[in-house]
Structure 1
Amino acid sequence: MGETSRRLPVTLAPRTDELLSSWIGRHAEFYAVPPLAMLRHCLPEASSLRAADLDLNEDQVFRLARMFSADQTMVHRMTFANIAQSSRRLIAKEPVQSCSRCHPAKHDPRPVLRSQLFGWRITCTLCGCLLRHSGRHDRQLLSAATMGLLS
Protein backbone atom coordinates (compact mmCIF):
# COMPACT_ATOMS: atom_id res chain seq x y z
CA MET A 1 0.00 0.00 0.00
CA GLY A 2 1.41 3.38 -0.94
CA GLU A 3 1.88 6.41 1.23
CA THR A 4 -1.66 7.80 1.65
CA SER A 5 -1.13 10.54 4.20
CA ARG A 6 1.53 12.71 5.76
CA ARG A 7 2.62 12.98 9.37
CA LEU A 8 0.38 14.86 11.76
CA PRO A 9 1.66 18.41 12.38
CA VAL A 10 0.96 18.20 16.14
CA THR A 11 1.36 15.02 18.15
CA LEU A 12 0.69 14.42 21.83
CA ALA A 13 3.07 12.52 24.06
CA PRO A 14 1.64 9.23 25.29
CA ARG A 15 1.16 8.75 29.03
CA THR A 16 2.96 5.90 30.77
CA ASP A 17 1.06 2.64 30.14
CA GLU A 18 -1.48 4.43 27.90
CA LEU A 19 -3.58 2.27 25.61
CA LEU A 20 -3.15 2.88 21.87
CA SER A 21 -6.85 3.64 21.32
CA SER A 22 -6.72 6.19 24.16
CA TRP A 23 -3.72 7.93 22.60
CA ILE A 24 -5.42 7.98 19.21
CA GLY A 25 -8.60 9.24 20.89
CA ARG A 26 -6.74 12.15 22.52
CA HIS A 27 -5.36 13.09 19.11
CA ALA A 28 -8.86 12.84 17.63
CA GLU A 29 -10.18 15.20 20.29
CA PHE A 30 -7.33 17.63 19.61
CA TYR A 31 -8.12 17.59 15.87
CA ALA A 32 -11.91 17.59 16.50
CA VAL A 33 -12.61 14.39 14.58
CA PRO A 34 -14.12 11.06 15.67
CA PRO A 35 -11.52 8.60 17.05
CA LEU A 36 -12.24 5.99 14.38
CA ALA A 37 -11.76 8.64 11.68
CA MET A 38 -8.35 9.46 13.18
CA LEU A 39 -7.37 5.78 13.18
CA ARG A 40 -8.58 5.32 9.59
CA HIS A 41 -6.61 8.39 8.53
CA CYS A 42 -3.55 6.33 9.44
CA LEU A 43 -4.87 2.84 8.71
CA PRO A 44 -7.75 2.95 6.18
CA GLU A 45 -8.28 -0.80 6.57
CA ALA A 46 -8.77 -0.61 10.37
CA SER A 47 -12.09 -2.01 11.54
CA SER A 48 -12.15 -0.58 15.07
CA LEU A 49 -10.05 0.98 17.81
CA ARG A 50 -10.38 -2.23 19.84
CA ALA A 51 -8.95 -4.23 16.94
CA ALA A 52 -5.99 -1.83 16.81
CA ASP A 53 -5.40 -2.40 20.53
CA LEU A 54 -5.44 -6.17 20.06
CA ASP A 55 -4.08 -6.98 16.61
CA LEU A 56 -1.67 -4.83 14.63
CA ASN A 57 0.84 -6.25 12.20
CA GLU A 58 4.33 -4.79 11.88
CA ASP A 59 3.41 -2.73 8.81
CA GLN A 60 0.51 -1.14 10.68
CA VAL A 61 2.73 -0.38 13.68
CA PHE A 62 5.24 1.22 11.31
CA ARG A 63 2.55 3.34 9.63
CA LEU A 64 1.06 4.51 12.95
CA ALA A 65 4.51 5.33 14.31
CA ARG A 66 5.32 7.32 11.19
CA MET A 67 2.01 9.22 11.20
CA PHE A 68 2.41 10.18 14.88
CA SER A 69 6.19 10.74 14.67
CA ALA A 70 6.68 8.07 17.31
CA ASP A 71 8.95 5.13 17.96
CA GLN A 72 7.62 1.79 16.67
CA THR A 73 8.51 0.05 19.92
CA MET A 74 6.48 2.60 21.88
CA VAL A 75 3.44 2.12 19.61
CA HIS A 76 3.75 -1.65 19.94
CA ARG A 77 3.95 -1.36 23.77
CA MET A 78 0.63 0.52 23.78
CA THR A 79 -1.18 -2.55 22.42
CA PHE A 80 -1.97 -5.93 23.94
CA ALA A 81 0.47 -7.74 21.66
CA ASN A 82 2.29 -9.13 24.70
CA ILE A 83 -0.88 -10.82 26.01
CA ALA A 84 -1.44 -14.43 24.92
CA GLN A 85 -4.24 -14.82 22.38
CA SER A 86 -6.09 -17.18 24.74
CA SER A 87 -6.09 -14.53 27.51
CA ARG A 88 -7.29 -11.61 25.42
CA ARG A 89 -10.93 -12.50 26.07
CA LEU A 90 -10.28 -11.51 29.69
CA ILE A 91 -9.41 -7.94 28.71
CA ALA A 92 -12.31 -5.57 29.39
CA LYS A 93 -13.70 -3.40 26.61
CA GLU A 94 -13.84 -0.34 28.87
CA PRO A 95 -11.89 0.62 32.00
CA VAL A 96 -13.07 -1.39 34.99
CA GLN A 97 -10.92 0.41 37.53
CA SER A 98 -8.88 3.54 38.10
CA CYS A 99 -6.34 5.04 40.46
CA SER A 100 -7.41 8.22 42.20
CA ARG A 101 -3.77 9.26 42.61
CA CYS A 102 -2.64 8.75 39.00
CA HIS A 103 -5.94 9.66 37.32
CA PRO A 104 -7.65 12.38 39.30
CA ALA A 105 -11.04 13.42 37.94
CA LYS A 106 -9.73 16.83 36.85
CA HIS A 107 -7.79 15.31 33.92
CA ASP A 108 -9.79 15.78 30.74
CA PRO A 109 -9.66 13.81 28.56
CA ARG A 110 -8.46 11.10 30.88
CA PRO A 111 -6.06 8.70 29.20
CA VAL A 112 -7.00 5.04 29.46
CA LEU A 113 -4.16 2.87 30.70
CA ARG A 114 -3.66 -0.67 29.50
CA SER A 115 -3.81 -1.88 33.10
CA GLN A 116 -7.28 -0.34 33.59
CA LEU A 117 -8.68 -3.07 31.34
CA PHE A 118 -7.21 -5.88 33.45
CA GLY A 119 -9.91 -6.83 35.95
CA TRP A 120 -7.42 -9.00 37.81
CA ARG A 121 -5.27 -6.00 38.83
CA ILE A 122 -5.65 -4.86 42.44
CA THR A 123 -3.00 -2.16 42.58
CA CYS A 124 -1.97 0.59 40.19
CA THR A 125 0.96 -0.38 37.97
CA LEU A 126 2.31 3.18 38.20
CA CYS A 127 2.14 4.03 41.93
CA GLY A 128 1.11 0.84 43.74
CA CYS A 129 -2.06 2.30 45.33
CA LEU A 130 -5.25 0.24 45.54
CA LEU A 131 -7.43 0.66 42.47
CA ARG A 132 -11.03 1.83 42.58
CA HIS A 133 -13.25 -0.59 40.74
CA SER A 134 -16.40 0.54 39.02
CA GLY A 135 -19.61 -1.34 39.64
CA ARG A 136 -20.90 -3.43 42.50
CA HIS A 137 -17.82 -5.59 43.01
CA ASP A 138 -15.83 -2.84 44.76
CA ARG A 139 -16.33 -4.07 48.29
CA GLN A 140 -15.82 -7.73 47.41
CA LEU A 141 -12.52 -7.03 45.62
CA LEU A 142 -11.25 -4.69 48.33
CA SER A 143 -12.17 -7.23 51.00
CA ALA A 144 -10.42 -10.05 49.14
CA ALA A 145 -7.36 -7.87 48.53
CA THR A 146 -7.04 -6.79 52.16
CA MET A 147 -7.49 -10.40 53.37
CA GLY A 148 -4.60 -11.46 51.13
CA LEU A 149 -6.72 -13.61 48.82
CA LEU A 150 -5.67 -11.74 45.69
CA SER A 151 -2.24 -10.61 44.62
Structure 2
Amino acid sequence: MPRQPSHDAGTSSRQLPVILAPHADELLSSWISRHASFYAIPPLGMLRHCLPEVSSLRSADRNLTATQVTRLAGIFSTEPATLRRMTFSNVAPASRRLIAARPLQSCACHSGDHEPRPLLRSQFLGWRITCPLCGDLLERAGGHDRPSPFDRYKG
Protein backbone atom coordinates (compact mmCIF):
# COMPACT_ATOMS: atom_id res chain seq x y z
CA MET A 1 0.00 0.00 0.00
CA PRO A 2 1.48 3.43 -0.93
CA ARG A 3 2.55 5.61 1.93
CA GLN A 4 0.54 8.80 2.31
CA PRO A 5 2.47 12.02 2.94
CA SER A 6 2.32 13.16 6.53
CA HIS A 7 0.47 16.38 7.27
CA ASP A 8 0.93 18.65 10.23
CA ALA A 9 -2.17 20.49 11.36
CA GLY A 10 -2.98 23.13 8.77
CA THR A 11 0.06 22.44 6.61
CA SER A 12 0.48 20.92 3.23
CA SER A 13 3.52 18.76 2.64
CA ARG A 14 2.87 18.38 -1.07
CA GLN A 15 5.19 19.98 -3.57
CA LEU A 16 3.98 23.10 -5.28
CA PRO A 17 3.03 22.44 -8.92
CA VAL A 18 5.24 25.26 -10.23
CA ILE A 19 8.58 26.06 -8.62
CA LEU A 20 10.42 29.26 -9.53
CA ALA A 21 14.20 28.94 -9.62
CA PRO A 22 15.92 30.91 -6.87
CA HIS A 23 18.30 33.67 -7.95
CA ALA A 24 21.89 33.62 -6.75
CA ASP A 25 22.11 35.08 -3.20
CA GLU A 26 18.30 35.45 -3.03
CA LEU A 27 16.77 35.78 0.41
CA LEU A 28 14.26 33.08 1.43
CA SER A 29 11.48 35.60 2.10
CA SER A 30 12.03 37.03 -1.38
CA TRP A 31 11.76 33.58 -2.96
CA ILE A 32 8.60 32.82 -1.00
CA SER A 33 7.19 36.25 -2.00
CA ARG A 34 7.90 35.61 -5.68
CA HIS A 35 6.03 32.31 -5.43
CA ALA A 36 3.15 34.08 -3.67
CA SER A 37 3.03 36.63 -6.49
CA PHE A 38 2.98 33.84 -9.07
CA TYR A 39 0.12 32.10 -7.25
CA ALA A 40 -1.66 35.46 -6.65
CA ILE A 41 -1.76 35.16 -2.86
CA PRO A 42 -0.23 37.34 -0.12
CA PRO A 43 3.37 36.43 0.80
CA LEU A 44 2.42 35.73 4.41
CA GLY A 45 -0.35 33.45 3.12
CA MET A 46 2.24 31.43 1.18
CA LEU A 47 4.47 31.18 4.24
CA ARG A 48 1.56 30.18 6.48
CA HIS A 49 0.50 27.55 3.93
CA CYS A 50 3.92 25.93 4.37
CA LEU A 51 4.77 26.79 7.98
CA PRO A 52 1.74 28.05 9.94
CA GLU A 53 3.80 28.33 13.13
CA VAL A 54 6.21 30.91 11.63
CA SER A 55 4.96 34.41 12.43
CA SER A 56 6.63 36.45 9.67
CA LEU A 57 8.76 36.31 6.55
CA ARG A 58 11.53 38.06 8.46
CA SER A 59 11.58 35.33 11.09
CA ALA A 60 11.74 32.72 8.31
CA ASP A 61 14.92 34.41 7.07
CA ARG A 62 16.48 34.24 10.52
CA ASN A 63 15.17 31.41 12.66
CA LEU A 64 14.07 28.20 10.98
CA THR A 65 14.49 24.86 12.71
CA ALA A 66 15.94 21.86 10.89
CA THR A 67 12.42 20.36 10.71
CA GLN A 68 11.02 23.56 9.15
CA VAL A 69 13.87 23.68 6.62
CA THR A 70 13.18 20.07 5.65
CA ARG A 71 9.45 20.73 5.30
CA LEU A 72 9.99 23.83 3.15
CA ALA A 73 12.59 22.02 1.03
CA GLY A 74 10.02 19.32 0.31
CA ILE A 75 7.26 21.78 -0.59
CA PHE A 76 9.58 23.87 -2.79
CA SER A 77 11.29 20.78 -4.24
CA THR A 78 14.81 21.86 -3.35
CA GLU A 79 17.68 20.65 -1.20
CA PRO A 80 17.67 21.75 2.47
CA ALA A 81 21.22 23.11 2.04
CA THR A 82 20.04 25.34 -0.82
CA LEU A 83 17.22 26.63 1.33
CA ARG A 84 19.55 27.25 4.33
CA ARG A 85 21.86 29.34 2.09
CA MET A 86 18.87 31.61 1.42
CA THR A 87 18.61 32.45 5.14
CA PHE A 88 20.86 34.13 7.68
CA SER A 89 21.51 30.85 9.49
CA ASN A 90 25.24 31.18 8.76
CA VAL A 91 25.36 34.50 10.66
CA ALA A 92 26.29 34.07 14.32
CA PRO A 93 23.24 34.60 16.57
CA ALA A 94 24.98 37.49 18.36
CA SER A 95 25.46 39.27 14.99
CA ARG A 96 21.92 38.76 13.68
CA ARG A 97 20.80 41.96 15.37
CA LEU A 98 23.07 43.76 12.88
CA ILE A 99 21.06 42.51 9.90
CA ALA A 100 18.96 45.34 8.49
CA ALA A 101 15.17 45.22 8.39
CA ARG A 102 15.16 46.71 4.86
CA PRO A 103 17.69 46.52 2.03
CA LEU A 104 20.63 48.84 2.73
CA GLN A 105 22.53 48.50 -0.51
CA SER A 106 22.39 47.27 -4.06
CA CYS A 107 24.52 46.57 -7.09
CA ALA A 108 24.09 47.48 -10.74
CA CYS A 109 24.36 43.78 -11.68
CA HIS A 110 21.14 43.16 -9.79
CA SER A 111 19.06 45.78 -11.59
CA GLY A 112 17.53 43.30 -14.04
CA ASP A 113 13.98 43.25 -15.31
CA HIS A 114 12.78 40.51 -12.95
CA GLU A 115 9.32 41.21 -11.54
CA PRO A 116 8.98 41.14 -8.68
CA ARG A 117 12.65 41.93 -8.21
CA PRO A 118 14.33 39.40 -5.92
CA LEU A 119 15.91 40.67 -2.71
CA LEU A 120 19.43 39.45 -2.07
CA ARG A 121 20.88 38.47 1.30
CA SER A 122 23.81 40.83 0.70
CA GLN A 123 21.44 43.83 0.51
CA PHE A 124 20.71 43.44 4.24
CA LEU A 125 24.30 43.05 5.44
CA GLY A 126 25.70 46.51 6.15
CA TRP A 127 29.18 45.11 6.68
CA ARG A 128 29.19 43.66 3.15
CA ILE A 129 31.32 45.87 0.88
CA THR A 130 31.33 44.01 -2.42
CA CYS A 131 28.63 42.23 -4.37
CA PRO A 132 28.84 38.44 -3.97
CA LEU A 133 27.65 38.04 -7.56
CA CYS A 134 29.99 40.31 -9.54
CA GLY A 135 32.57 41.56 -7.02
CA ASP A 136 31.85 45.27 -7.61
CA LEU A 137 31.39 47.69 -4.73
CA LEU A 138 27.87 47.83 -3.37
CA GLU A 139 26.03 51.14 -3.47
CA ARG A 140 23.93 52.48 -0.63
CA ALA A 141 20.21 52.14 -1.30
CA GLY A 142 18.03 55.27 -1.36
CA GLY A 143 16.90 56.65 1.98
CA HIS A 144 20.10 55.82 3.86
CA ASP A 145 21.84 59.17 4.33
CA ARG A 146 24.01 58.24 7.29
CA PRO A 147 27.60 57.37 6.54
CA SER A 148 28.44 53.73 7.10
CA PRO A 149 31.23 52.80 9.51
CA PHE A 150 32.43 50.49 6.73
CA ASP A 151 32.87 53.30 4.14
CA ARG A 152 36.57 53.61 4.99
CA TYR A 153 37.15 50.09 3.65
CA LYS A 154 35.73 50.88 0.24
CA GLY A 155 38.90 52.34 -1.10
- 1:38 equivalent to 2:51? Answer no
- TM-score, normalization by structure 1: 0.88
Q: After TM superposition, give the deviation of residue 131 of structure 1 in Å.
A: 1.0
Q: After TM superposition, give the deviation of residue 143 of structure 1 in Å.
A: 6.0
Q: After TM superposition, give the deviation of residue 142 of structure 1 in Å.
A: 9.0
1:18 aligned residue (9, 20, 26): 26
**Could you tell me which residue of structure 1 aligns to residue 111 of structure 2?**
104
What CA distance in whole angstroms lies between the structure 2 residues aligned with 1:27 and 1:112?
A: 13
Identical aligned residues as a percent: 59
Per-residue Cα deviation, 1:37-75 (whole angstroms, up to 9, x for no partner): 000100011100111111111110011001111111111
Per-residue Cα deviation, 1:10-41 (whole angstroms, up to 9, x for no partner): 00111111110010010001001111100010
Change (3 A) 1:105 1:15: closer
Q: After TM superposition, give the deviation of residue 107 of structure 1 in Å.
A: 2.8
What is the root-mean-square deviation in Å for CA atoms of aligned residues? Answer: 1.8
- 1:28 equivalent to 2:36? Answer yes
**Could you tell me which residue of structure 2 aligns to residue 114 of structure 1?**
121
5+ unaligned residues in a row in structure 2: which ranges?
1-5
- What amino acid maps onto 1:99 in structure 2? C
Which stretch shows the higher mean deviation, 106-115 or 72-81?
A: 106-115
- Asked whether the equivalents of residues 127 and 150 of structure 2 are also in contact (C-alpha less than 8 Å), the reply is no
2:71 aligned residue (29, 43, 63): 63
What CA distance in whole angstroms lies between the structure 1 residues aligned with 2:62 and 2:150?
A: 29
What CA distance in whole angstroms lies between the structure 1 residues aligned with 2:150 and 2:97?
A: 24
What CA distance in whole angstroms lies between the structure 2 residues aligned with 1:96 and 1:126?
A: 17
5+ unaligned residues in a row in structure 1: which ranges?
none
- Asked whether the equivalents of residues 106 and 138 of structure 2 are also in contact (C-alpha less than 8 Å), the reply is yes
1:136 aligns to what SS in structure 2? coil
**Could you tell me which residue of structure 1 aligns to residue 152 of structure 2?**
144
**Could you tell me which residue of structure 2 aligns to residue 126 of structure 1?**
133
- What amino acid maps onto 2:116 in structure 1? P
- TM-score, normalization by structure 2: 0.86
